[in-house]
Amino acid sequence: MIFSPRSTTGALALGTGLLLLLPLAGLDHFLLDVLASGFLLAAYVGSWDIVGGVAGQICLGHALFFGTATYSCALLTSLAGWPFAAAAAAALLLSTTAAAVVGTFSGRLKGPFIALLTLALGELAHEVALGQTFFSPRGAYSWGGEGGIPVALPWGSPSPWASYYGALLFLFLSTWGMTRIARSKDGLIWTAISGSELTARASGVDVARHKRRAFLVAGLLAGAAGVGFAAHVGRATAADFSLELSFQAATFAAIGGRGTIVGPVLAALLLHALFQGAGIAPAARVLLYALALLLVLRFFPAGVAGTLRERVRERNMVPEGASR
Amino acid sequence: MNDLLLAERIEKSFGPTRVLRGITLSVGREEVVGLFGPNGAGKTMLANVLSGLIPPDRGRILFEGKDITRLSMDARFRAGLARTFQIPGAYPTLTVVESIRVALLCGEAGQEGKRRLPRELEEEVESVLHRTGLFAQRFWMAAKLSQGCLRRLEFARAISCRPKLILLDEVFSALSAKDEGELTALLRSLRRDDGISFLLISHNPLILAEMCDRVVTIEDGRVTWEGKPADLAKYLPVAAGHDHGP
Amino acid sequence: MLPFAQVLLDGLFTGSTYALIAAGLALILGVVKVVNLSHGAFFSLGAYIAYALSTKGVSNPAVAVLLACVIAFAFGVFLGKSFINPVRSHPFSVAVGTLGFAILFEQAAQMLWGPHPVSIGAGPPWAVVDGVVVRRWGAISLIASTVILLAIALFLHSRFGLPVKLIAEEEEIAGSVGMDVEKIRYLTFGFASAAAAAAGVLLAPATSITPTMGRVPLILSLIVVIASGMENIAAIFLLAVGLGLLSNVSAYLFSPQWSYVSLLSVICLLLLLRPEGLSATMPGRDY
């Protein structure tokens, strides 16, 4: 379904090798920081691809799962005084639960309505996070709203190198895991659902159940990226729930190639690193992403990796193809 | 109850339009029953109701004596009631092999994907491929097959659940003579070797006369006649003004 | 402190204008058969055009409406012809693409006019009844919206509206009768976008103008269209007015944030309780 296992692992290994050596080339802290955020963002986008690319569900509220994780970390450590590890575990549980709920609701809905529901839920979470009155603790400071809530980390402020390598490791592991899942039986069934729900149902697929499962996996991984982000940035802000962030997941995935996992991950990483590294303002960046999205959807709907994959498949369409 | 499938007094309306007006129909074990009628008579709607795509407003459906009226389409498939679609629904991004794999993974009753070794699953896939004559095209993208192969893929999908009954919705329409011959041979072999019953929906009386043990005609959402296919010719003048076979 | 009657009256004016936006969305849903998430952006476009004109000293609403309609129509036709029509049959591309256009506009607006709210003066009141102020924008909005909606309803029931109705109801027949279905589609998209922009101009004096101001009307008109269907202009009008009142009242009683939150909650409930929604109009395989 994707590139052959051997070539994908090879490419991943090469890429990871390069990234491992990059800090030694003397990058400044700003760039290391940008790349660390980029790794986490790429993992987040990869998680979207599970439910939005492989399973083909139009999820426009993926930031809901990400933000749930960051806010859980922040609230539990700063307000409730939990140790970070416990808060992280709770954050994963909560984001997965949110995903299970969304997945259940999406079971009965058709594509455009799943898009609307996820969009509305994401915006609801964003508004709640933005509302200052919700998160004012007793004490001198008022938390919440635009400024967000700090995360009480056990290690003070981390060194840029630790963040960099930590995030890279996380990206590598999660991408490897996601490609494994995409190639599994579940991945095959998700691809079937994405292609034709009707045919899948007529093949005995319990579509509602598998949709929920896709959301669950995607939500768990997005939550993990959120936990990583909370640890890296040390703060949960309302932007973690924003429509712009949800939009970026779908956009990078579309550009990279929905359903390929590696495509979205690389697209997110490269575009983020390039644009933010070059110092382009946030509004201009998002505008350019939107423009790129429109062009890709119109002219290359399969995205970069997707178009490549189609070419590979077409070459394989000979009756005596080698056994896979 | 000897009937494999029994549909009683099925009614379905869409807004003011009554599409099915109380249809009672049965299919026995190892029987091929034809469903004949002009376009718009309600044949496909009946197939949709029987296969679980659309729930009926009234009436009930029994399969092997059990009430399946409220059962979902995928559950019916796992119970052994399969159907093909008039427009074959090939997955745009899966190959033939993969398409069959999906049906085999999910087609077993009890739980989908019973604990098979990968080797066992592949053997079953190959067996289905050979059965339906799709072995040569197995790595082709399902969506790029010819009409004849697409219909055979529909069969491949349908037999993956070891069905007892397959609803064939216009599976022979708009096919070349060669493809039609291959498909009828496939149908016969499935009936003979696996004892599968068929409900064959078609507006082509020649096919029905050739393949069926019994024919039911539908017009305007009602059953108007039932009898032997040989007698269909006598009944035909009433339906003759509509479609004929290729 | 505003008297409650003032809140109600302003809600009525706002709601009637929302009906205009909702009617446009309904047209797009019925004729182009897509869920258009960029609709709110055209509303914002209208508001910003009105603002831009007011900074240049032009405060005649008719001029603003005309200019906004022309620009929005042009954009809408362009978007409809170059993007929407070709990707219509891919729900993902439509949903994410129209959202992308909306976000593109939001970012552009932020870059051009800044992220902070701007506003146009509401102008001198038309009349004051019992302490309740009837503002010029309000009266114009109500009259203009009602007139335009009536015109749409009349058009659809007339001979000229037949092609449009035919595409909405019997797509295959429309094509085989030789109608240029694609053209009617993008023209409808353009027209509906112009209607949304007009609404933006009409409401601009009443609200603070921000880059993301289009989100509330989008959600609101989605609710209206999902709840009342595409056929019934009267139902659209009433429901939009009702929601406008509700939204204004909750903004007044609680805070402006709450109106967006309550709208979002309504649409979630609607989607969960009425999943059959508008499935009949979506292109692709029938279910």
Residue spans per domain, chain C: 4-114+132-281
* Position with higher pLDDT, C102 vs A3: C102
Mean of pLDDT values over A101-126: 93
Count of helices and strands (H, E) across chain A: 13, 2
CA C232, CA C153: separation in Å to the nearest integer? 9
Count of alpha carbons within 13 Å of C278, Cβ hemisphere only?
Answer: 28
- Model confidence at A187, in pLDDT bands (50, 70, 90)? very high
Neighbours of chain A (3+ CB pairs under 8 A): B, C
Question: Any idea how long chain C is?
Answer: 287
Residue C114: closest C-alpha in chain A = A283
Residue A232 tokens read as 């890296």
Q: Where are the domains of chain B?
A: 3-90+163-239
* Position with higher pLDDT, C13 vs C71: C71
Residue C113 burial (C-beta neighbours within 10 Å; 0-12, 13-18, 19+)? middle
CA C137, CA C74: separation in Å to the nearest integer? 25
The reported pLDDT for the residue numbered A175 is 93
Cβ(A1)–Cβ(B99) below 8 Å: no
**Would an 8 Å CB–CB cutoff place A95 in contact with chain B?**
no
Residue B105 tokens read as 């993974």
Bridge-based pairing state of the strands B81-83 and B165-169: parallel
Cα–Cα nearest to A43, from A213, A168, A187: A168
Tell whether the model's pLDDT for residue C121 goes beyond 80.
Answer: no
Helix axes A243-256, A262-277, angle to 10 degrees: 120
Average pLDDT along chain A: 88
Inspect the interface and report whether the beta carbons of A58 and C83 lie closer than 8 Å.
no
* Position with higher pLDDT, A269 vs B16: A269
Inspect the interface and report whether the beta carbons of A120 and C271 lie closer than 8 Å.
yes
Residue C287: closest C-alpha in chain B = B53
- Model confidence at A323, in pLDDT bands (50, 70, 90)? very low
Q: Where are the domains of chain A?
A: 5-20+27-136+143-315
> Which candidate from A194, A204, A319 shows the least CB-CB separation from B103?
A204
**Would an 8 Å CB–CB cutoff place A199 in contact with chain B?**
yes
Helix axes C39-55, C61-79, angle to 10 degrees: 140
> Which candidate from C104, C115, C287 shows the least CB-CB separation from A287?
C104
- Model confidence at A144, in pLDDT bands (50, 70, 90)? low
CA A39, CA A41: separation in Å to the nearest integer? 5
Which residues in chain C (128-147) have CB-CB distances under 8 A to chain B? none
Residue A109: closest C-alpha in chain C = C275
The reported pLDDT for the residue numbered A2 is 46
Cβ neighbour number for residue C143 with a 10 Å cutoff: 13
The reported pLDDT for the residue numbered A310 is 84
Q: C220-266, pLDDT tens digit by residue?
A: 999 999 888 777 888 899 999 999 888 888 888 887 777 888 899 99
pTM for the model = 0.91
* Position with higher pLDDT, A22 vs B243: A22
What is the per-residue DSSP string for A172-191? HHHHHHHHHHHTSHHHHHHH
**Would an 8 Å CB–CB cutoff place C285 in contact with chain B?**
yes
Residue B45 tokens read as 């709607």
The reported pLDDT for the residue numbered B203 is 84
- Model confidence at A142, in pLDDT bands (50, 70, 90)? low
Span B3-90+163-239 CATH architecture: 3-Layer(aba) Sandwich (3.40)
Cβ(A179)–Cβ(A38) below 8 Å: no
- Model confidence at A102, in pLDDT bands (50, 70, 90)? very high
- Chain A contacts of B141, Cβ < 8 Å? 313-314, 317
Residue from C83, C271, C286 whose CB has the most chain A CBs within 10 Å, to mutate: C271
Inspect the interface and report whether the beta carbons of B91 and A199 lie closer than 8 Å.
yes
- Chain B contacts of C287, Cβ < 8 Å? 53
CA B101, CA B124: separation in Å to the nearest integer? 9
- Chain C contacts of B87, Cβ < 8 Å? 285
**Would an 8 Å CB–CB cutoff place B89 in contact with chain C?**
yes
SS3 C194: helix
The reported pLDDT for the residue numbered C252 is 81
Q: A2-52, pLDDT tens digit by residue?
A: 456 667 667 777 877 888 888 787 778 888 888 999 999 999 999 999 999
Count of alpha carbons within 13 Å of A155, Cβ hemisphere only?
Answer: 12
Residue from A1, A4, A184, A199 whose CB has the most chain B CBs within 10 Å, to mutate: A199
Mean of pLDDT values over B170-176: 87
> Which candidate from A110, A115, A120 shows the least CB-CB separation from C268?
A120
- Chain A contacts of C37, Cβ < 8 Å? 115, 119
SS3 B7: strand
* Residues belonging to chain B with any Cβ–Cβ distance to chain A shorter than 8 Å: 51, 53, 72-75, 77-78, 82-83, 85, 89-95, 98-99, 101-103, 105-108, 112-113, 136-137, 139-141, 144, 157, 160-161
* Position with higher pLDDT, C139 vs C132: C139
What is the per-residue DSSP string for A32-89? HHHHHHHHHHHHHHHHHIIIIIIS----S-THHHHHHHHHHHHIIIIIS---HHHHHH
Residue C57 burial (C-beta neighbours within 10 Å; 0-12, 13-18, 19+)? exposed
CA A23, CA A43: separation in Å to the nearest integer? 20
Span C4-114+132-281 CATH architecture: Orthogonal Bundle (1.10)
Average pLDDT along chain B: 87
SS3 A141: coil
Tell me the shortest Cα–Cα distance from A98 to chain B, in angstroms. Answer: 26
Residue B87: closest C-alpha in chain C = C285
Tell whether the model's pLDDT for residue B62 goes beyond 80.
Answer: yes
Residue from B71, B74, B144 whose CB has the most chain A CBs within 10 Å, to mutate: B74
Q: B193-240, pLDDT tens digit by residue?
A: 999 999 999 888 888 888 899 999 998 889 988 988 888 777 765 555
Tell me the shortest Cα–Cα distance from C261 to chain A, in angstroms. Answer: 6
> Which candidate from A195, A196, A203 shows the least CB-CB separation from B107?
A203
Tell me the shortest Cα–Cα distance from C102 to chain B, in angstroms. Answer: 30
* Position with higher pLDDT, C157 vs A67: A67
* Position with higher pLDDT, A170 vs A323: A170
**Would an 8 Å CB–CB cutoff place B53 in contact with chain C?**
yes
Cβ(B191)–Cβ(B10) below 8 Å: no
Task: For chain B, give the percent of residues with pLDDT over 90.
Answer: 51
The reported pLDDT for the residue numbered A224 is 97
The reported pLDDT for the residue numbered C224 is 92
Cβ neighbour number for residue C12 with a 10 Å cutoff: 18
Residue A207: closest C-alpha in chain B = B74
Cα–Cα nearest to C259, from C274, C244, C270: C244
Tell whether the model's pLDDT for residue A133 goes beyond 60.
Answer: no
* Position with higher pLDDT, C90 vs B108: C90
Helix axes A29-48, A243-256, angle to 10 degrees: 80
Query: Both ends of chain A: CA-CA distance in Å?
Result: 10
Residue A194: closest C-alpha in chain B = B91
In single-letter form, the type of residue at position A114 comes to I
Bridge-based pairing state of the strands B197-202 and B165-169: parallel
CA C233, CA C244: separation in Å to the nearest integer? 16
- Model confidence at A135, in pLDDT bands (50, 70, 90)? very low
Q: C142-170, pLDDT tens digit by residue?
A: 888 889 888 888 888 887 777 788 787 77
Mean of pLDDT values over C102-117: 94
Task: For chain C, give the percent of residues with pLDDT over 90.
Answer: 47
CA C95, CA C106: separation in Å to the nearest integer? 17
